[in-house]
Amino acid sequence: MKHIIGGKPGEPRSPQAAPVAVRLVEVHPDDAGQRLDNFLMRHLKGVPKTHIYRIIRQGEVRINKGRTSADARVQPGDVVRIPPVRVSSKPEESERAVPAREFPLLLDDDVMLAINKPAGVAVHGGSGVSFGVIEQLRRAHPDARFLELVHRLDRETSGILLVAKKRSALTHLQNQFRERETGKTYLALVLGAWPANKKVIDTPLRKYLLPDGERRVRATTADDPEGMRSVSLVKVQQLFPAQHPLGLPALSLLEVTIKTGRTHQIRVHLASSGHAIAGDEKYGDFDLNKRLAKQGLKRMFLHAWRLQFNHPQTAERVELGAELPPELADFVAAASAAE
């Protein structure tokens, strides 16, 4: 690939260096099916998204010499015209600030990897977060042509996270998630004694925004036109009695298998059933969370525990497991000892 940043050898780079040439980039098979805007973001690192969309609208970006749109899908062998753009040095400095990081591996082969994500780490950079798991993995593996998240986990949720190394694997796995062909089971510790006969939660969920623009989800009714059908299966794994001297209620360790993948589905389903997840700062009992923190639970007790899917290359059924991290396992052990 040609370097298009201006400046003669030995000259100091100005804060905004001007490129001097158009680039013609042939689409690699691994990038097949990728949206044009995402394709450009990978090739124009440091360029604001608004500028990328502008040069597409103005016809400066072309596929096979023809004008195109941001949502066009590139195909192997396509030639993408990328015009000269100004790239600020600041984004490059920001990119260098992303620390390389490896995560505990559950699976690693030619087309994908599965990691055991710790709590407190976002899966990607975004609102209020400069980087996440995927940016750190790319930094740790600079020679990797392709690394993309297959799905997402909330920042405070730990457990199994899949990353694709090839576009074909990404598409294959995401189709399985979309068609509900995967098996996803979480461990959640909830407040109160969960009734053993309550095994299915089939309650629609609806997204909404708080006045400050933060996203939230609430349970709604089947006749709500903006409600999305959401189904969770619940199995009680262990019950813990109340610890009245500590001001703690009974607790239930649940296995929750989700049949749909809505935003905050497990958190809202359990909270709307009267059994919020312990440590949940959005949908939980805030006063009780403080008492739980004093007993060692300083995070939300939600962990992506088991995941089943068909391998995108071999089609074999794969089952992955990630045991509870120490901070959750220790709390469960302490609660068991108090019985």
Phi and psi at residue 209, to the nearest 5°: -120, 140
Cβ proximity of 205 and 283 under 8 Å: no
H or E segment to which residue 269 belongs: helix 265-272
Q: Which of 183, 178, 163 is nearest to 106 (CA)?
A: 163
CA 222 centroid distance within chain: 28
CA distance 300 to 258: 18
CA distance 225 to 137: 40
Residue type at 291? R
Q: Is 162 left (phi over 0), alpha (psi -120 to 50) or beta?
A: beta
3-state secondary structure of 247: coil
Cβ proximity of 257 and 232 under 8 Å: yes
Q: Which residues contact 337 (CB under 8 A, 6 or more apart)?
A: none
Residue type at 39? F
H or E segment to which residue 305 belongs: strand 302-310
Active site residue 108: no
**Active-site annotation holder among 30, 154, 202, 287:** 154
Annotated catalytic residues are: 154
